[in-house]
Structure 1
């Protein structure tokens, strides 16, 4: 039986929720894997999220077209082959880029939770207007600063337990602005991942993704570039019983504690 994300992007996809232990065990090593064998309940969207990929990249690599039907036992490639990467590099690097790798970042406006903080020290900063900065990639090699994605009270902490919270939950009133936590490209908007409600996923580097769940209204579209502090949504209660933002950071498909990256609350 074919499993897909449904022909309509507005209908919930038949995927298990993040809180289920089997799912976390099943996907927690995907960030380093080259292939994945589809199991019952999987969709291309869920596989892309857990493996740290853009679902459109997985569709292209595996020659899948909408509605991205997949089936149990099918083996999907999670990474592009070196041969294809070299071909793309040859085509895309005919001209020298005018973007300097060490171009400084414009400091974002001061946030409610204080100044941004550096999470990785390097001489390579994120360009002011993100464009391809290295051969074969649209993304800078790292994130140099993160900001809080919303004002509010942290009501849910990150947990490493199998059924624990894979991010943090921030509560506030309906309509509270949801902000991009770092520079990046929107790679997903929709509600095809059950348990997240209206969801936004932003890709910041080839390794980092962030997720913003339970939104009332989404203000960006897929393939948009966003700046730190740019409003991307309004806080809501879609997919949950309480008005809040569920925020996650994933590194190579693995959940990490957002509080390790965000500046301290004042």
Structure 2
């Protein structure tokens, strides 16, 4: 499986699992280092859906500069007159229009209880780090579906990503062990991992909230 995220250097704070670039009118232009898995994560879509929307013969063969549909195609009645859906793998740049971003209506529970040792700043820190003890259960902050559970992403250790809606994903990094699998549905408060220090130094949980692929301050959404 291709990497979902770019790696982080071991001496830097792990940034959120997201790529550069943005979607326009439902399309994203492939950049160097992208994979379909990473694109799907950024725009909250699974790989099979992207393959179907873009008529891809092979999910592992995408090209730099290629336009990939990442939003649900509009129906014929919704499309402006004279605009046709793209055929094949590449959409025309003339079909691209900017889309907006909305804030989520979601409340989250703390994945673990502990001291926040690193806070969100939107630049070098795209989430928060919470100190704790090895083996402490890590809980799902809200109900959702596991988008990724694994350790292939350098700099994040054993990572879990949970999709809560079409706009919102939470990330849980540096775990000692994972208790869920890709595609599994989870409930708020369900144990998804245990705390550890995989991919970092010192036991802690790196927790992020992504809204429409943008990092937001988790403390805005966590219940007291």
Scaled by the length of structure 2, the TM-score of the pair is: 0.74
Per-residue Cα deviation, 1:20-39 (whole angstroms, up to 9, x for no partner)? 99x97824x44x65211211
In 2, Cα distance between the equivalents of 1:57 and 1:26? 21
Give unpaired runs (5+ residues) of structure 1.
6-11, 87-141
Q: CA deviation at 1:145?
A: 2.9
Shift of the 24–244 alpha-carbon distance from structure 1 to 2, 3 Å rule, reads same
Give unpaired runs (5+ residues) of structure 2.
79-103
Do 2:107 and 2:223's aligned partners in 1 also have CA atoms closer than 8 Å?
no
In 2, Cα distance between the equivalents of 1:215 and 1:193? 13
The answer to whether 1:234 aligns with 2:198 is: no
Give the counterpart of 1:155 among 91, 101, 117.
117
Do 2:14 and 2:125's aligned partners in 1 also have CA atoms closer than 8 Å?
no
Give the counterpart of 1:50 among 35, 42, 49.
42
In 2, Cα distance between the equivalents of 1:255 and 1:61? 26
Q: CA deviation at 1:57?
A: 3.1
In 2, Cα distance between the equivalents of 1:24 and 1:146? 21
Give the counterpart of 1:76 among 50, 63, 68.
68
Q: CA deviation at 1:49?
A: 2.6
Please give the residue correspondences for 1:86-125 in structure 2 after superposition, counting only pairs within 5 Å: none
More helix by share: 1
Give aligned pairs, total. 194
The answer to whether 1:40 aligns with 2:32 is: yes
- Which residue does the alignment assign to 1:115? none
- Provide the alpha-carbon RMSD of the alignment: 3.0
Q: CA deviation at 1:188?
A: 1.5
Shift of the 62–16 alpha-carbon distance from structure 1 to 2, 3 Å rule, reads farther
More strand by share: 2
In 2, Cα distance between the equivalents of 1:256 and 1:187? 19
Give the counterpart of 1:206 among 149, 166, 174.
166
Give the counterpart of 1:146 among 108, 122, 125.
108
Give the counterpart of 2:207 among 247, 252, 257.
247
Do 1:13 and 1:194's aligned partners in 2 also have CA atoms closer than 8 Å?
no
Q: Matched residue of 1:82: which SS?
A: coil
In 1, Cα distance between the equivalents of 2:19 and 2:106? 30
